[in-house]
Amino acid sequence: MAHYPGTRKGSLAGVEMGFFVRAVSRRNIFAIVVGALLAGVPLIGFNFWLENLIDRQGEAEVGTSGRRAIALAEARVKDAVGALDGLAARGVDSCDPAHIEAMRYAAFITIPVKEIAVVGPDAETLCTHLGLPLGERTMLSSELLVGAAGYWFDIIKLATGEHMVRLRRQVGASPNAVAALVPTTLFLPQVSTRGGPFSGYARITTRQGTVIGEVGGRPREDVGPNFVADTKSDMFGFDVEIVNSRTRIAAEHADLKWFGFFAAGVIMMFVTGLIVLLPQRSPRNPVAEIEKAIEAGEFVPYYQPIVDISTGKLRGAEVLVRWRKPDGTLVLPGAFIPLMESSDLIHDLTRHLMQKVCIEAGPAIGRRLDLKISFNFAGKLFSEPTIVKDVRDIFANSPIRFSQVVLEVTERDPIENFTETRQIIAALQGLGVRIAIDDVGTGHSGLSYMLKLGVDIIKIDKMFVDAIGTDRNSTTIVETLVDLARNMRMDVVAEGVENFEQVMHLRTLGVRLAQGYVFAPPLPGSSFLQLVEAIDPLQPATTDSTASSGERLKVSA
Ligand code: C2E
Ligand code: CA
Ligand code: CA
């Protein structure tokens, strides 16, 4: 396999970038899917846990509220009963100042009680601990209280509209009774189990079903599920119903829900970012990718002008392939040629390039017969039986003549079957094509061995060109090569010429043809054709197509 000094490193980076760019869009989708899956699983788990938590908390809350309400109601009744029993024991059953004084004291020390009164046989208020009764009052209901013998449990409506629970008991054989008023609101829960204001619906009823009081709006059943708790008072027969809507409880956990989404989002972004940013070590299947790229016409010829340094005229170009990716990245050959040479792809690529050059530059080159066009031919192509036919078929139908075609075989590639290679070279030369040895001086086969192949041109590697003038040995090697070429009637082309000093040295050494950045880098087809047209504009109609290529190349271009 060939090595390409000076180009390999940068080009490899190029192809890695290229593969990376193409892979990124697919990887992005993959990363998002994996990220979503990895974040989705904990999110589903978290949501499941949260729904469960809401259910458990909802049920616990209504249950606890119910039990608390019962305990509260029982405590209120017991307080009032305690006060009334005390008064009855002292025989308080009239509006005497002494009795009123006793009632006042009892009212003062019994927290939930707002009023203590003496009532007549028809349950009408005779007097209260404050003196006269405060306004009209209506008895809405009355029933015997279980759990406290001799007690009546009345619901009273005051003139203000307020409802009161009235507990009432006879005092011995007296026709009068003592009664205590407790606001119904004190029978209902005021705070939620978690400390905030009570947010649900609560209703407390007597044993017989009379509503003592209600708080909150009853959540509708058709809107969504509700938590319901029905709790009974064993002591006094009260019944408390607590209802809370599940939506309301869930709303109280909204912050947790958002936390879940936030955490899942963070996981997803983390996983996605990790996958996208992790450097992809190796492309999936570069061979298949190159195969597709050849079919898609992504490999394009670039043309590096070859110049006659004794006259400055343009003498032709070397075709150097570039991989122009759909995203605009340009990949240099060092990154993919070795892989292609190790497979059969190099054959397809070379054929494809020759065809493309025929179409793109064929007319311009065919009309200027002193221009030559060189193609790089990997060593293994010379053991390909169809290669001679391929070259013949391609150029026979093209404006480019066989005599204008140069095939460069590199000295770096070991020749596997010398006889066969020699025969193929001879067959190609039979068509009129010329053969060049590339990278002369850098291979291991040895020049004399290579020359036995019967080649027409030798290309001196950039390594020697760089050393001329500074390194005596290199200068001698170039001199020797030029002499050898002259004797064997071969042409010499110097490669990688980068400055005028080198041009001068090469001229002194008798080298006529050169290519390099000092004249032009490899150019895309359109630029190369413009250059050809500018240097050697074709005369209209009568022009003899064999005329020389006119103007000198502006080497400083
Ligand atoms: P090569 O045939 O020796 O081509 C000359 C290389 O030197 C080219 O690199 C060219 O761009 C570069 N070059 C030209 N002038 C200068 C200069 O003044 N200074 C420097 N530093 N470099 C210069 P590129 O295009 O990267 O090609 C690298 C190698 O890839 C070529 O070396 C050739 O062996 C191979 N290659 C290119 N195209 C093809 C092809 O179509 N088929 C085959 N089999 N190999 C190819
Ligand atoms: Ca070459
Ligand atoms: Ca070369």
Residue ranges making up the domain that contains 462? 295-556
Ligand 1 centroid – CA 348 distance (Å): 19
- 94 CB-contact burial (10 Å; exposed 0-12 / middle 13-18 / buried 19+): middle
Same domain, 371 and 417: yes
Q: Cα 522–526–529 angle (5° rounding)? A: 85
Q: Are 31 and 272 in contact (CB under 8 A)?
A: yes
Same domain, 249 and 320: no
- 3-state SS class at 81: helix
Same domain, 90 and 213: yes
Residue 554 has pLDDT above 60, yes or no: no
> pLDDT tens-digit profile of 220-233?
877 788 899 999 99
CA distance 109 to 157: 24
Ligand 1 centroid – CA 320 distance (Å): 6
In testing the pocket of ligand 1, which one of 1, 3, 4 has its CB within 8 Å of the most ligand atoms?
4
Of the candidate ranges 110-119, 378-387, 439-448, 509-518, the one whose mean pLDDT is the lowest: 439-448
Same domain, 306 and 271: no
Q: Containing H/E element for 272? A: helix 254-277
CA distance 476 to 509: 9
Question: Distances in Å between the alpha carbon of 406 and those of 233, 373, 422, 457, 491?
Answer: 110, 6, 16, 9, 11
Residue 497's closest CA among 453, 435, 445, 553?
Answer: 553
The answer as to whether 9 is a domain residue is: no
The full DSSP string for 247-261 is HHHHHHTHHHHHHHH
Same domain, 339 and 380: yes
> pLDDT tens-digit profile of 242-284?
998 888 778 877 787 788 788 888 888 887 788 777 765 555 6
pLDDT at 38: 79
The number of the ligand 1 atom at minimal distance from the alpha carbon of 11 is: 26
pLDDT at 365: 97
Q: In sequence order, which ranges of 90-166 are alpha helices (DSSP H)?
A: 97-109
Same domain, 301 and 273: no
Ligand 1 centroid – CA 333 distance (Å): 7
The answer as to whether 382 is a domain residue is: yes
CA distance 304 to 318: 5
> pLDDT tens-digit profile of 330-363?
999 999 999 999 888 999 999 999 999 999 999 9
Question: Distances in Å between the alpha carbon of 347 and those of 191, 248, 351, 436?
Answer: 87, 74, 6, 18
CA distance 359 to 398: 8
Which amino acids bring their CB within 6 angstroms of ligand 1? 2, 4, 6-7, 304, 320-321, 332-334, 337, 346, 350, 353, 376, 378, 410, 438-439, 462, 495-498, 515-517, 522
Tokens of 147: 């759990």
Q: Are 157 and 167 in contact (CB under 8 A)?
A: no
pLDDT at 283: 54
How many domains does one find in the chain?
A: 2
State the average pLDDT over residues 187-208. 87
Phi-psi label, residue 21: left if phi above 0, alpha if psi -120 to 50, beta otherwise: alpha
The answer as to whether 422 is a domain residue is: yes
The full DSSP string for 503-522 is HHHHHHTT--EE-STTT---
Same domain, 340 and 460: yes
Residue 2 has pLDDT above 50, yes or no: no
